[in-house]
Chain A
């Protein structure tokens, strides 16, 4: 048996998680100096050539227009030029450019004389680089502490108590839910459908070559047939489920159709699963169906069975088959019984089936 857990794919997933997320952070810090540098260098590189149109006097740049860069920028620029080969692509990636550099780092460390004549404040700071910051420089949290204010205010405490009480009550009422469960709108609440859901499903399954209008026409013939043919004479061994007594059925053809389809709808389908019993034999495992799937199976059986009839029109074949189902004569009942028999015997195999997500 192959291992359940695929280590290959698992590792790939982990890889994806571990991928460093540098670019998202770095791009901001790198991009800014780039733009800045472009602004700086363009005037120097610009060639005035006669073929080009003279720019507006407002747009013109002059060599003296830009003031000299500040100390750190100049240093960076020089550093870039000097160490061009060392930094791989010449990108100035110095974080100092956007943040600015403390004077003591940039100048005073290089210049020992200047260090001596450094202002007093800076000297003091150098001495106590370690330890806690003074209050003035520590960041304050943006929001004032909620707890503090609550403690201070007695009425607020009372309110908090009440909220807690209500919450606990709600928890008792709906265990697992803090609030009432939201009402999920059903499908039919939002818009009105033209046809009954089963009628629509049947019509779509009658459709051939995508010709829906023709299928609808056929469906109306079928319903008219159900409406005009004599009331079914039900077989007591194969009764229709629920509904009004048989003589009343033809007057409500959609209900009649629904009862017929629902009566022969199987409860489950049989899945043939290979490889759990070994020896290459397939194991039959019943798989429950929802309402729409059950109806689909029944409609398919009915349409398949109607193919063997001799009537000239498709609609008449299907309609006659429906009536014979209602009277318990159709082979569709046998098919359903067979399916259920197989499902009952296959119940034992349910434990063998691999669990599906």
Chain B
């Protein structure tokens, strides 16, 4: 025990981790920080060293100050009409260079395959003709939009931004849980978390090279500009937000601010002659690229929901005519469909002639009779998900569900087998997370973000690690009590600059008094004071 000046006993770090190994053993999951026997893994050496130096008082003071900074900076998400700070845990999630290398390639591979798939689905449908995926599966997807069939979007890219959710199973293998190629959100927290951590746990940064994340807005802007309609020299990019009440509004402002572009709402836009303009104080100004953060359904009342006030009538026709680039393209949701997800390994083989680098989670397609019967017998041990849900909506975890819930689920699955998939319950990997007065293992996932500029898919080093703050909980969504962690990707030596640029030492500059030019003014000053 150490004590401070006031005589309070400070609990040394080992006590903060006191019950950790038992709790970790209970969950049976892969722990990111500790190998069995509570030995910190090599990648976590620096972090665990820094944490060992801190007392409970230190840790909670820092956690409080980090939360306060988030509130002051407005790093919030809207939940039920209330602005809440997004909880950031003080222990980062660290990914060693070799593991990241695999993830990076795997994510990029997946994005390329989905891009090819979308192009095909809204074009010739060769993938159906070649018998890889049934036609019915595509045409019954809620997000297959016939309104955008039969044209290639201006700039030729559909999946400009994507977030591929990966998790680690109990054996420590990364698997893809789902693809988000519609409107993946969360990247703003990646940027803000890094800022907050640099101030909250500076000790853990030293001596190791953590790959920076701040180039994301630049990469995004350059990808958006590169995919502008042909013939536009200096494209005007805007971010389209549903407005201040959207749960991700903070992210929209941050990205627009960091890219230095306008953040527009639907009512700021006008379509005329298949061109898009925004209303400015200097009249109307042409818009070339729209980074869309609205669901397709609300984008264009002429094509989709006619009662939507969030979008702008005519956008889809403008995109069809090549007058504007919409990123991500309208209709991408068909690739998000969880039934299509179960075919992605096949799609990778079909389009890229490669083997998938990251495996899927085993998935039962409930449309297939045999699988459905098998699943219905074992509902209590499986996770059942709606195919078009996001944010953890509608998901049922068998072992946690009551008998009534399972019966209700059974009826719904039988009524609409196309609408559901089932997966085994994965024990997501855990990372130590501050809870009350000690650290406990909490389950995490990871959402790496990829930016596609048409030539190259760039994956942001790290991504968003979401953590379920309740012990044992597997649901990491922010709307259901999840928080986040800063995600560090360690650089291996080959990624470091080969030779550090020699720093020139700075000469101490004498303070020069330019006026009044009196050599003895200092003496006079002391004289006057006397």
> A and B: real partners?
no
